Amino acid sequence: MKLETLTQVNAQRAARRPVIVITDTANGEQRLVKAEDIATDPLRAELSKQLRMGKSGMIEAGGKKLFLNVYAPTARLVIVGAVHISQALAPLARSLDYDVTVVDPRTAFASPERFPDVPLVAEWPDVALPPLNIDHYTAFVAVTHDPKIDDPALLHAFARDCFYIGALGSRKTHAKRGERLRAQGASDADIARIRAPIGLNIGAVSPAEIAVSIMAEITAELRMPKENAKEQAA
């Protein structure tokens, strides 16, 4: 890789922006494609697929064999609420290579004994969330059932364009949540982004089963084309 290309790759990675380096295996020629340029690239379908998968790979296009080297940010999961579901969700997400952080101002819940080896922030969302530098490659889950904690956290997730936003609660609970969030400046488009009831409908009952349904929904949002993910959710 040329020094100029490597410098650009490192700059994009430092900013947690995905980038793909395309190498012609026949002659070694390379070009770099930034995330914002994928939609207009001649190889946009192949680039989008590899980026969704988060994996490098070989393709054939225009009679050439091309290696797509994908540099994608490590996906994050921010869980607001150190509850029973979170105790099952955090290790499951970590097993899938997510960087996980649990936020809950209630120190009786956010304790190392309940969440061994998981980063905990025992502060209110307005203090806890800004230093986390939440971004588009973050999945955001609010499960406290306490509007004083969940609502400001969700407003922060809207502003940071998280790729997945989910919140615990029934449809009735979510309708009331939507009214509160609108009163605080959230748009209808913001509220429509919240997956509530959270998780895929697999008949989950126990905290562990709910955790599985949540991670399945997050995985579908991250890996599947949008139209297919919507069909799966339906």
Q: What share of the chain is helix, strand, coil (3-state, %, to 5)?
A: 45, 20, 35
CATH topology of domain 76-223: Rossmann fold (3.40.50)
The three-state secondary structure class of 22 is strand
For residue 152, the model assigns a pLDDT of: 97
Helix axes 84-95, 207-223, angle to 10 degrees: 40
Render pLDDT for 9-60 as a digit per residue (tens, 0 to 9): 999 888 888 999 999 999 999 999 998 899 999 999 999 888 888 889 999 9
Domain boundaries, given as residue ranges, for the chain: 3-71, 76-223
- In this structure, the chain runs to a length of 234
pTM: 0.85
Q: Is the peptide bond prior to 197 cis by the omega test (within 30 degrees of 0)?
A: yes
Render pLDDT for 173-225 as a digit per residue (tens, 0 to 9): 999 999 999 999 999 999 999 999 999 999 999 999 999 999 999 999 988 86
CA distance 42 to 64: 14
CA distance 198 to 172: 13
CA distance 231 to 233: 5
Strand 194-195 and strand 164-167: the pairing is parallel
Render pLDDT for 132-151 as a digit per residue (tens, 0 to 9): 999 999 999 999 999 999 99
